Structure 1
Amino acid sequence: MATHLELLFVSTQDAAADVERLRAVLTPRPEGLTRISFACPTPTLDRRLVEAVPQQSLPWEALHGTSAVQAVNRALLLGREDVLLLAHPLVALGGAVVELRAVLAENDRACALVPTPDYSGFDESERARWLEESRLPRAVCLPTPDLSVVLLSRAVLDMVGTLDETLGSLEEALSDWCLRAQRLGFITLRASRALFRPNGPLPSDLPDMSRLDARHPYFRGQREVSLADMRTGLAARTVASARGDLSVCLDIRYLPEDAINGTSVYAIELCRAMTQHTSARLSLYVGTEKQRKSLEPLGLPIYVNSGLPDHVQLLHRPAQVFSLPHLQMLLHAQVPYILSYQDLISYRAGSVWPGGEDQARYQLASYVAVRGAQGLIAISDHNRREVIREFHVPEEHVHTVHHGVDMAAFARQPTDDSAGVLQPLGLPRRFFLFIGSDYAHKNVKLLLAAYVNFRARWKGHGEMPGLVLVGHPSGTQDGVFPFLRQQPLPGVHFVGGVSHPVLRALYHQAIAYMYLSAYEGFGLPLLEAMAAETPILCSRFSSIPEVAGDAVLYADTMSDLAIAGQMIQLAEEPSLGRTLAAKGKARVAQFTWKQTALKTYEAYREVLRRPSLMSLTDRRFLKEFLSRPLLP
């Protein structure tokens, strides 16, 4: 760190505010401060400023000029050390000056250091603790200072010279000086942890960009890149979020317009719980008017394929990215984004896609989306481990947040008439239930084979139990739902999509819920079945044991014969079903949307406080690589 420092204080017409700014910098007196120069817009210096200078043999001098730039130049010519220029109504907080000097000392190509304006009103001791624990980049590049509160390197001052007095304002002259220094390979930095708070309205007059662009032809493009770089305002957003002032926009353009699936339930229930249980200010970003209308009952601000409002501090995409336009929006947003990566089925299973090129494009989109995200949410520990291994991201970058379930929406009530609700469907009185799509990993073919064996071996009394399938066709070559419509199997009832009252009645009437999936990121229907006190027969793969625990009957082996035997056991032994239902009811109490919302909110704050260093480095260049040719 440089040994000595000079303070160049530009006074204003508000002497009382000037005194506060001066005392904030001098208390405690910065180590190595050798002198104070007052650049005065009037011929005389207000005596209150002189009285604010500590009586510690600290020399001071008042310098007047025909303009603020001329007065500053006189002080720069007389100085010998690094110069801390204070020309805006900002008050230094805590160790702001120490941090500015430390960053300057570790960056030998820095010509100017700018602090971060703090509008949060956060308690100073709490702010210091928050920043100490954060993982903010210590400094980020700016084209030029955006405030006339700046630490200038004496070595570069001696090389570049003083400010241009022909320019109209101090801000313009300072920007021009930094651009001149850039020609020699120097940079302007913003110190993320050096905070100054406003103690008055900031000047609204900006440098004359047209004049600066004419002098420095590269400046316009450099300015545009900087304005689009979310790192520029990251520190200010981080400090603001520390008090809970957190505005989050959920990008849910991917939601189907006419169907409900697990991803839809997650997004909608998360919105409701976040609104009810956290202080986050939520808004939604959708792709169509039809989506907007369907989501209006949530009572949240909704934006349809438009720019994000300025108050948004963080984007959350509660699902993977399947299209390039969706990915580009995330990368080009001027705020950090967090991504819920729910499973790797589409990433790994070629059968999900029409061809290999489609899968390859999705894999590329996934890789870029993950590398550009400031944080990832995994919906199970199993999901988290897979994402870390597949994309080689740091462990602290990925947060596990389990799904929840609305217990009241599925719980049994004395007034329920499930049989009456289901009567129009013409279903058997007793049946096994499956809810989901017919993707290959859902193992619907295995379930059908097991049910055929179940029917062949059934020796019970009364009506033969049926098999009810609920869901929408996946459209893949392995999908079986369309064939069931054309050639129904005995006892199998494919009913497609159903309303919530019908879904609830199906759970209540089922002998057991069948969940033989070979892969799940979480398994939301498990929670729904437990909440409905429906016994479950399921596989042991991926995240399923993590969610189901000991509250289910696991398939002994994944053979149709063995599964048929367990189906017979469930149909013939009501006591087994009651035991499983009781265990499920106790276990599902651990999974609430309130807990999901609270943990998601903490993930939001953690992403701003400790953003992914990998993504801070990669995101800008990934965006540029995807949006323009690499070479002319």
Structure 2
Amino acid sequence: MRIALDVSILHAPRTGIGEYALQLGRALQKVPELELSLFDGLRWRDDFPEAPRAGYGTLSQIVKAILPNAYQIRRQLMQRRFDRGTKHVQPEVYHQPSLWPLRFDGPTVMTLHDLTHVHYPETQPRDRLRAIERHLPIALQQASRILVDSQFIADEITHHYGVPHNKLQVAPLGFAPRFQPRSEEQLRMRLATYQLQMHSYYLCLGTLEPRKNLDLVIAAYLTLPDRIRQRMPLLIVGGRGWRQEQLKRIPHSAQAQGQVRLLGYEDENCVAELLAGAHALLFPSRYEGFGLPVLEAMASGTPVIASECAAIPEVAGQAALYVDPDDVDGCRSQMLALLDDDTLQATLREEGRQRARQFSWERCAQITVDTYRTAGHF
């Protein structure tokens, strides 16, 4: 099968959808029956963009300031390049791994990761939100098949858009090889860089925006005894998203003493090593279509304290400690319970690794290939 895969998302700083496009694409390249052609929005290629385009975010903001309809113009230019390329590539199936596809005469598979635009429309730039609201319902109608990361999202799409379940296919995500248990010696240089001790810090991962619910973690952490905060700093790793009020509530003294540390966006290897060395991943998100950091933490042998919301329990099962996303005292209690119980720590590390073994990019790729077959009637 000749497959066209859009990888234009890889020009942006890597987040969950970018990781999906990259890791799924690499797994698909190993499937003998597939001939994979990659479209990066500018040109067709055989390899993946390995790093975000330099200055991508700044350039995007400048272009949007100059051209109010920049998003629509960009899509039109991509469509022209895509059309020219398909005449030569002649794909039998086209797969768009992020939101709605470009126009294509043949069978189209799209992946819809979540309905953030429905629940949190404020997180989308205004022109992009208008485009989503205009184009996504049509794309869901016209797509041959729709891939989703979880049954939770499949049910949401059916409920909100009326898409029949037999058009949807759940393909759970996987984790990259860099997410694995590490010894203290393996992490020595990384931990020394941040003046950290093995298993002696909490970690939050994800784009900094309200639905990630950092307020809960910050409030719970600040109620811990000072002696604990002195030896167990809270690291917050992620690019800045929409609204930053929760970060303004961090006392200056907590940051000055190194108790709460805002590291910003870090590269993938740094994130993997910090995750493997953490005492626990704190993931209190209110809404996730999957919750990739939860799986990556479990694969790394790191305990997870997460909110029991959306698709998160579908990923973590019984291998995590859960909290109500509005219960500060409950979050604090779980943090203390894990801190004081070596047996619980060991149990969560082992159960997390076992749970993670149920997920892989190879499995995701095989389900995706089966979906291509169904879409193309092969």
TM-score band w.r.t. shorter chain: 0.7 to 0.9
Alpha-carbon distance between aligned partners in 2 of 1:451 and 1:413, rounded to the nearest angstrom: 26
State the distance in 1 between where 2:265 and 2:47 align.
17
User: Counterpart in 1 of 2:28?
Assistant: 274
Do the aligned partners of residues 255 and 447 (structure 1) sit closer, same or farther apart at CA in structure 2, a change above 3 Å counting? same
1:315 is aligned, of 94, 97, 112, to: 94
Query: How far apart are 1:492 and its partner, in Å?
Result: 0.8
Give secondary structure in 2 for the equivalent of 1:409.
coil
Report SS of the residue matched to 2:99: coil
**Amino acid across the alignment from 1:424:** T
- Shift in Å, 1:467: 0.5
| Residue type at the aligned position of 1:388 | T
- Indicate the residue corresponding to 1:590 in structure 2: 358
Contact 1:347 1:362 in 2 (8 A): no
Taking a change above 3 Å as real, the CA distance of residues 439 and 265 of structure 1, as seen in their structure-2 partners, is: same
The reply on whether 1:261 has 2:21 as its aligned counterpart is no
For the residue of structure 2 that corresponds to 1:558, the secondary structure is coil
Cα distance between partner residues in 1 of 2:120 and 2:324: 25
Using the alignment, how far apart are the partners of 2:333 and 2:251 within structure 1?
27
TM-score (norm 2): 0.83
Opposite residue 232 of structure 2, the aligned amino acid is P
What are the within-5 Å matches in structure 2 for residues 211-290 of structure 1?
Answer: 246-257=1-12, 259-288=13-42
2:147 and 2:170 in contact (8 A); partners too: yes
| Secondary structure class of the residue paired with 2:8 | coil
Contact 1:343–1:521 (CA under 8 A) maintained in structure 2: yes
Structure 1 residue runs without a partner (length 5+): 1-245, 322-326, 611-632
Cα displacement (A) at 1:375: 1.0
Superimposed CA distance per residue, residues 53-75 of structure 1 (whole angstroms, 9 cap, x where no aligned partner): xxxxxxxxxxxxxxxxxxxxxxx
What is the TM-score of this pair, normalised by structure 1?
A: 0.51
- Aligned position for 2:74: none
Give the length in aligned residue pairs: 345
What is the CA–CA distance in structure 2 between the aligned matches of 1:471 and 1:294, rounded to whole Å? 27
Shift of 1:558: 3.1
Q: Does 1:335 align with 2:113?
A: no
**Relative to structure 1, is the Cα distance of residues 479 and 334 closer, same or farther in structure 2, using a 3 angstrom cutoff?**
farther
Answer whether contact 2:38 2:47 (CA < 8 A) is retained. no
SS state at 2:279 partner: strand
Percent identity of equivalent pairs? 26
The AA in structure 2 aligned to 1:295 is F
- The residue correspondences of 1:122-141 to structure 2 (distance < 5 A) are none
Is the 8 Å Cα contact of residues 316 and 339 (structure 1) preserved in structure 2?
A: yes
Cα deviation 1:318-340 (Å, max 9, x = unaligned): 1113xxxxx5xx22x22221110
Q: Does the Cα contact within 8 Å between 2:93 and 2:375 map onto a contact in 1?
A: no
CA distance in 2, matches of 1:484, 1:268: 35
Mapped partners of 2:184, 2:332: distance in 1: 33
Deviates more, 1:554-563 or 1:512-521: 554-563
Instruction: Give how far 1:487 is off.
Output: 9.0
Deviations 1:237-292 (A, max 9, x none): xxxxxxxxx111111223343x2111111111111111113521111111247x97
Alpha carbon RMSD of aligned pairs, Å?
2.9
- Give 1:163's aligned residue: none
Contact 2:182/2:276 (<8 A) preserved: no
Q: What letter corresponds to residue 345 of structure 1 in structure 2? A: T
| C-alpha deviation, 1:428, in angstroms | 6.0
Question: Max radius of gyration: which structure?
Answer: 1
| CA distance 1:427–1:386, change in 2 (3 Å) | same
Contact 1:351 1:477 in 2 (8 A): no
Paired with 1:336 and 1:507, the residues of 2 have a C-alpha distance of: 40
Given that residues 184 and 277 in structure 2 are in contact (C-alpha distance below 8 angstroms), is that contact kept between their aligned partners in structure 1?
A: no
Aligned to 2:116: 345
Give the letter aligned to residue 284 of structure 1: L
Aligned residue for 2:179? 410
User: Aligned partners of 1:390 and 1:453: how far apart in 2?
Assistant: 39
3-state SS in 2 of match to 1:307: helix
Counterpart of 1:381? 151
CA pair 387-253 structure 1, distance change in 2 beyond 3 A = same
**What is the DSSP-based 3-state SS (H/G/I as helix, E as strand, rest coil) of the residue aligned with 1:277?**
coil
Residues 338 and 484 from structure 1, CA distance in 2 versus in 1: closer, same or farther, beyond 3 angstroms? farther
Structure 2 residue aligned with 1:295: 48
Q: Tell me the equivalent position of 1:628.
A: none
